[in-house]
Amino acid sequence: MKLFTLFAFLILSFLIPMQVNPEFHDALVEEFDSENLQHFEYVSRGSDSPFKWRSGISSKQEKETSILSFKLDPKDPVGPGRGPEISSKKSVHFGHYAARLKVPDARFKQANVGAVVGYFTYTNDSILGLSEIDFEWLLADPEVIYVGTWTGKSGNLKRVGRTINLAQGLIYTSEYREDAQKIREDITHEQHQPTFIETIPDFDASAEFHTYGFDWYPDRIRWWMIHPYRRDTLVLWDYRGTRGIPQHPSKYLMNFWHTDNWAVETNPQALEKPKHRFELEVDWMSYRPLKK
């Protein structure tokens, strides 16, 4: 899987002009086949327990696959960044992002755990404000996927988001929010595409590895995944709205953390502090700058 991914990625990279700004990443693939990271660094602000992350070890799901392993430390405080987290060494911007990962299955050990896997871009500039584009999974229900953006300044953040359940073919919400102003609006019409999500009856983000990605343009963001059976692209949301599309450079991240105030859509009780070292497995992460 990795050799095919790397080969296809290198072919595409030859077609894209190289960036000249040394503060920005060129096209990259992080394979996690070594204990040392090439394009990322570990930046967790929680405990320094050595078991929280390792790179270059074998997957428990796919013995032949080397992975990045993130494990929750039950001693870590609540909040993003307190669990294991990696961040790109340089900035990224408009372009194409993808990752192959398997979230943990916590339902039998702790059904009401409050834990989040985040795959995203992020920066919080004192002048320009927040820039975030994300995929998120809550361990209490791995059938549900959250995608969206955060923009705006502290105290007046703006959220564009969609929540879906692939196993049931449901779009729970597609909405625009400004919590400080108590604004909550459904997103409709041309911004609400596709209007229906294909049902994948046995979809479970914790059962096996899946490839997810997003394409970030100045006026559009498209979230997608590789269909587990057809192996083509399944579009989760092709958002082309006038609000909520980040414009300034960010860092590229993956993290895993405890939440005590955000329960998954299907289980309002899922806010418990993790009691076990649940493990996230990441096969690879990639980025291609937008061709100019």
Residue 17 has pLDDT above 50, yes or no: no
- Residues 126-161 pLDDT 10s: 889 999 999 999 999 999 999 999 999 988 999 999
Structural domain for 178, as ranges: 2-289
Q: Say which DSSP state 113 is in.
A: B
Q: Which pLDDT belongs to residue 87?
A: 98
SS3 221: strand
Residue 43 has pLDDT above 60, yes or no: yes
Across 57-75, average pLDDT: 97
Q: Which pLDDT belongs to residue 179?
A: 87
CA distance 140 to 134: 19
SS3 281: strand
Burial track 34-73 (b if 16+ CB lie within 10 A, e otherwise): eeebebbeeebebbebeebbebeeebeeeeebbbbbbbbb
Least confident window among 4-13, 81-90, 92-101:
4-13
pTM of the model: 0.92
Across 193-217, average pLDDT: 97
**Total count of domains within the chain:** 1
Q: Which pLDDT belongs to residue 266?
A: 97
- What's 186's domain CATH number? 2.60.120.200
- Residues 214-228 pLDDT 10s: 999 999 999 999 999
Is the backbone of residue 205 left (phi > 0), alpha (psi -120 to 50) or beta?
alpha
Residue labelled with tokens 């980040």: 246
Greater confidence (236 vs 180) lies with 236
Across 8-27, average pLDDT: 60
Cα Rg of the chain (Å, integer): 18
Q: Which pLDDT belongs to residue 189?
A: 84
CA distance 71 to 45: 14
Check if the beta carbon of residue 287 is closer than 8 Å to that of residue 99.
Answer: no
Residue 1 has pLDDT above 60, yes or no: no
Strand partners, 250: 92
- Residues 238-281 pLDDT 10s: 999 889 999 999 999 999 999 999 999 999 999 999 999 999 99
